[in-house]
Structure 1
Amino acid sequence: MNVHRRSLTSSVLAAVVAAMLPDPLQAATSPVPRARNVVLVHGLFADGSSWSEVIPLLQASGLNVTSIQNPLTTLAEAVEACRTVLDRQDGPTVLAGHSFSGMIVTEAGIHPKVSALVYVAARAPDAGEDYTALSKKFPTAPASAGIVFDGSEGRLEEEAFLRDFAPDLPRTRAKALYAVQWPFQRSLLTDRTTDAAWRSKPSYYAISTQDRVIDPDLQRFMAKRMNAKVAELESSHVSLLSHPQAVSDLIIEAAQGA
């Protein structure tokens, strides 16, 4: 009887201890924590104000938002500026990038506070990948012909900016956006990422189907490769300005861990 009682007691104790331990399957399938913060990164031919239509919508949903002023000098310096802002966030954070800044999102997105990545008509290279070589497998984007350089400093000339970068914005709005265009350093175009955060973080991608800066099929390829949750928008390259509600909805979805 004593032996039976001791065996029963041991069984009960083992069951209690097992119940207190985390279920490996449950831990593996637990949802991404909800994010309170969003960090936005702009690309080439723009500055932080390019997110001006999206920011109020995100703030209205209760999110804390920071739009980084990307230095557009070297990828390393741009990533460091992004990491500095991520360090200041007080919990899980969605990192969203437009256009070239997808490079920054891909590299800086391994930051432990980043809970999800959002690419908006953005580059999404793999670690060490030559993005220029990848893009040559798809039709040449018309906007590339409008890039001009003053020494090492590049920019998009006005005609190409209005025709290829922001053709679906009212002309006065597009010209105002052109006026705040921030020049970039030529060497930035050949820098490569050393990490690919989308391989380990939930990813979302807003594809611009009328894009003349990054070919839409290239966007589809990158989104599919990262197994991203996709939203296709009938938009030019600047969907964050022409379709701010749809872009905001995707970022909010990423923040909710959906």
Structure 2
Amino acid sequence: MTRKILAAAATSLALAAAPAHAAAPTPVKSIVLVHGGFVDGSGWADVYKILSKDGYKVTIVQNPTNSLADDVAVTRRAIAAADGKVILVGHSYGGVVVSEAGTDPKVAGLVYVTAFAPDKGESVNSLIANPPPGAPVPPILPPKDGYLFLDSAKFAASFAADVKPEVARFMAASQVPWGVAALQGAVTEPAWKVKPTWYLVAKDDKMIPPPAQRQMAERAHAKVEEVAGSHAVYVSKPAAVAAIIEKAARGAAE
């Protein structure tokens, strides 16, 4: 009997000393979505619905798109108000905003959705200054009072070719003025150098050439996925966009 008691005690001690299995990391549950130029945050509606249904707390930033500094300030306020750690997502020019704002300690990871991912000192202006031969030229009209618009007649073909025609027409008619100063805003310390990064390439983009997207993603050491879609892929393919955001939420927690 004594031997049995001693053996049981030894087993108990061994089990107590054994390292416990680490609990699976909890995914980041707060998502902040940042729109790009010419549009507002309403285009994120279907991505928002998917993420919310899956249990995420989603904030949609409404950038004034007057200047990079203004947009970064608005985004940082959204990060500060979010519950816990944040996955910060930027579309198009929104990628410049998240590159600058994403150094915030609450940001656990970045997602670029067919977006600019500038390095230190770069801006939209510098990134589009020398397009490769044969690259499509976005139909940007000459600036008026310091703001830019896309030619409404060419908006769908260049920005939203795979979006329902009536939605593309509405997007063209409801364009948000994009400040020239915002295009000139240069990133100081790009967040992708210090934060886990994901990038969704839209293979049919006529605003930011896919080869340029791939180059920026590679430079940022991003985990890259590609999907057939226009520049407005967040409108036309919300499930694909939500999927990479959820992967980032899980991956940033590991």
Give TM-score, length-normalised by structure 1: 0.84
Runs of 4 or more off by more than 4 Å in structure 1?
Answer: none
Give the aligned CA root-mean-square deviation in angstroms. 2.2
User: CA–CA distance in 2 between the matches of 1:65 and 1:195?
Assistant: 25
- The residue that corresponds to 2:57 in the other structure is 64
What's the counterpart of residue 217 of structure 1?
A: 211
Query: Aligned ranges for residues 117-196 of structure 1 at < 5 Å?
Result: 117-135=110-128, 136=130, 138-139=132-133, 141-196=135-190
Cα distance in 1, alignment partners of residues 226 and 59 from structure 2: 25
Q: Please report how far the alpha carbon of residue 33 of structure 1 lies from its aligned counterpart in structure 2 after TM superposition.
A: 6.0
**Deviation, structure 1 residue 138:** 3.0
What amino acid is the match of 2:224? V
Distance 1:167 1:183 in 2: 21
Structure 1 SS opposite 2:230: coil
Return the offset for 1:181: 1.6
Q: Distance in 1 between matches of 2:95 and 2:25?
A: 21
User: How many pairs were matched up?
Assistant: 232
Hey, what does 1:96 align to over in structure 2?
Answer: 89
* Per-residue CA distance 1:143-166 (angstroms, 9 max, x = gap): 533334222121112122111000
- 1:247 equivalent in structure 2: 241
Corresponding position: 1:109 with 2:102:
yes
Percentage of pairs with the same residue: 39
Compute the displacement of 1:175 (Å): 0.8
Name the CA shift for 1:75/1:32 in 2 (closer, same or farther; >3 Å): farther
The residue type paired with residue 242 of structure 1 is S
CA offsets per residue over residues 36-77 of structure 1, 9 Å max, x none? 100000001100101111100000110000111001011011
Whichever residue aligns with residue 200 of structure 1, its letter is: V
Q: Which runs of 5+ in 2 are unaligned?
A: 1-17
- Secondary structure of the 1:67 match is strand
Q: Does 124-133 or 135-144 show the bigger shift?
A: 135-144
Letter in structure 2 aligned against 1:184: W
Please give the alpha-carbon distance, in whole angstroms, between the structure 2 residues aligned to 1:186 and 1:240.
Answer: 24
For 1:39, the aligned partner's letter is: V
| SS of 1:147 mapped into structure 2 | coil
Conserved in 2, the CA contact under 8 Å of 1:44 and 1:99?
Answer: yes
Q: Distance in 2 between matches of 1:161 and 1:73?
A: 21
Residue 5 of structure 2 corresponds to which residue in structure 1?
none
Structure 2 counterpart of 1:222, one-letter code: M
TM-score normalized by the length of structure 2: 0.85
* 32-41 or 157-166, which deviates more: 32-41
Question: Could you say what secondary structure the match of 1:54 adopts?
Answer: helix
**Aligned twin of 1:10:** none
